[in-house]
Chains A and B, each alone.
Chain A
Amino acid sequence: MRDSYEIVIGLEVHVELKTKTKIFCSCPTDFGGEPNSRCCPVCMGLPGALPVLNRQAMIYAARAGLALGCHVSTRSGQDRKNYFYPDLPKAYQISQFDRPLCRDGSLCIDCDGEKKTVGITRIHMEEDAGKLIHDEKRGTMIDYNRCGIPLIEIVSEPDLRSSREARAYLQKLRSVILYTGVSDCRMNEGSFRADVNLSVRKRGETSFGVRTEIKNLNSFAFVAKAIDYEAERQIALLEAGEPVLRETRRFDPATGKTFGMRVKESAEDYRFFPDPDLPDVRLSEEEIAAIADGLPELPDAKSLRFAKEYGLSEYDGGVLSADRALAEYFDAAARQTAYPKVLANLIMNELLGLCEEESFRSPIAVEHMASLSRLLGEGRINGATAKKLLRSMWERDEDPVRLAEEGNLWQIHDGEILRSLLASAILANPRLAEDYRRGKKHAAKALIGQVMAQTGGRANPAMLTELAEKALSEEEK
Chain B
Amino acid sequence: MSDLICRTLAEHAEGLAKKEYSARELTLAYLRRIEEEDRAIGAYLCVLSEEALAAAREVDRARAEGRELSLLAGIPMAMKDNLCTRGIPTTCASRILNDYRPPYDATVWERLRSAGAILLGKTNMDEFGMGSTTEHSARQITKNPLDPTLTPGGSSGGSAAAVAAKEAAWALGTDTGGSVRQPAAFCGLVGMRPTYGTVSRYGLVAYASSFDTVGPITRTVADNAMALEAMIGEDPRDATSRTHPDPRFSRGIGEGVCGLRIGLVKEALASVEDEAVRNTLVSAAERYRAMGAQIVEISVPALTYSAAAYCVMACAEASSNLARYDGVRYGRRAERYESVEDLFHASRSEGFGAEVKRRLLLGTYVLSGGCAEGYYRRARAVRERLRDELREAFSSCDLLLMPVAPTPPFRLGEKTEQTALRFSEDLYCAPASLCGLPALSLPAGRTEGGLPIGIQLMGAPFSEGVLYRAGVCLEKEAKE
Contacts and interface: CB of A to CB of B under 8 A. Distances in A.
A86 interface: yes
Interface stretch (B244-252, B274-282, B315-323): B315-323
Given A47-B100, A91-B326, A80 B84 contact: no
Interface in B87-143: 90, 92, 97, 100, 102-104, 106
B8 interface: no
B323 A82 contact: yes
Interface string B280-318: 000000000000000000000000000000000000110
Contacts of A84: 323, 326, 341, 344
B387 to A, nearest CB: 15
Contacts of A90: 323-324
A53 B340 CA distance: 31
A352 interface: no
Best-buried of A45, A47, A52, A276 by chain B (most CB within 10 Å): A47
A53 B238 CA distance: 10
Interface stretch (B29-37, B158-166, B179-187, B367-375): B367-375
B239 A51 contact: yes
B369 A47 contact: no
Contact of B202 (A48, A86, A271): A48
A50 B201 contact: yes
A269 interface: yes
B203 A48 contact: yes
A50 B210 contact: no
Contact of B323 (A52, A92, A273): A92
B205 A41 contact: no
A89 B238 CA distance: 19
Contact of A276 (B240, B326, B376): B240
B323 A41 contact: no
A273 B367 contact: yes
B90 A47 contact: yes
Interface in A71-128: 80, 82, 84-86, 89-92
B106 A48 contact: yes
Interface string B226-263: 00000000001111100000000000000000000000
A50 B106 CA distance: 11
Given A53-B239, A89-B329, A48 B84 contact: yes
Interface in A274-317: 276-279
Given A80-B320, A82-B320, A90-B324, A277 B369 contact: no
A78 to B, nearest CB: 9
B240 A271 contact: no
Interface string B337-363: 000110010000000000000000000
A53 B209 CA distance: 17
B206 interface: yes
A48 to B, nearest CB: 4
A49 interface: yes
Contacts of A393: none
Best-buried of A91, A271, A273, A279 by chain B (most CB within 10 Å): A271
B206 A48 contact: yes
Contacts of A89: 324, 329
Given A51-B239, A89-B329, A278-B239, A46 B103 contact: yes
A181 to B, nearest CB: 27
A49 B316 CA distance: 19
A278 B236 CA distance: 12
B407 interface: no
Contacts of B330: 46
A91 B206 CA distance: 14
A45 B102 CA distance: 12
Contact of B205 (A47, A85, A142): A47
Contacts of A86: 326, 328, 340
Contact of B239 (A82, A142, A279): A279
B376 A273 contact: yes
A80 B372 CA distance: 14
A419 to B, nearest CB: 84
A44 interface: yes
Given A91-B326, A277-B240, A47 B316 contact: no
Contacts of A80: 320
B5 interface: no
Nearest to A81: B320
Given A82-B320, A276-B209, A276-B210, A271 B372 contact: yes
Given A50-B237, A86-B328, 11 more contacts: A41-B103, A46-B103, A48-B84, A48-B106, A50-B202, A82-B323, A82-B367, A84-B323, A271-B368, A271-B372, A278-B240
Interface of B: 83-84, 90, 92, 97, 100, 102-104, 106, 201-206, 208-210, 236-240, 316-317, 319-320, 323-324, 326, 328-330, 340-341, 344, 364, 367-369, 372, 376
5 tightest Cβ-Cβ pairs between the two chains A and B:
A91-B323, A276-B210, A276-B209, A271-B367, A47-B205
29 contacts: A41-B102, A41-B104, A44-B329, A48-B83, A48-B90, A48-B102, A48-B203, A48-B204, A50-B202, A50-B237, A50-B240, A82-B323, A84-B323, A86-B328, A86-B340, A89-B324, A90-B323, A90-B324, A142-B328, A269-B368, A269-B369, A271-B368, A271-B372, A273-B367, A276-B209, A276-B240, A276-B317, A277-B206, A277-B209
Interface of A: 41, 44-53, 80, 82, 84-86, 89-92, 142, 269, 271, 273, 276-279
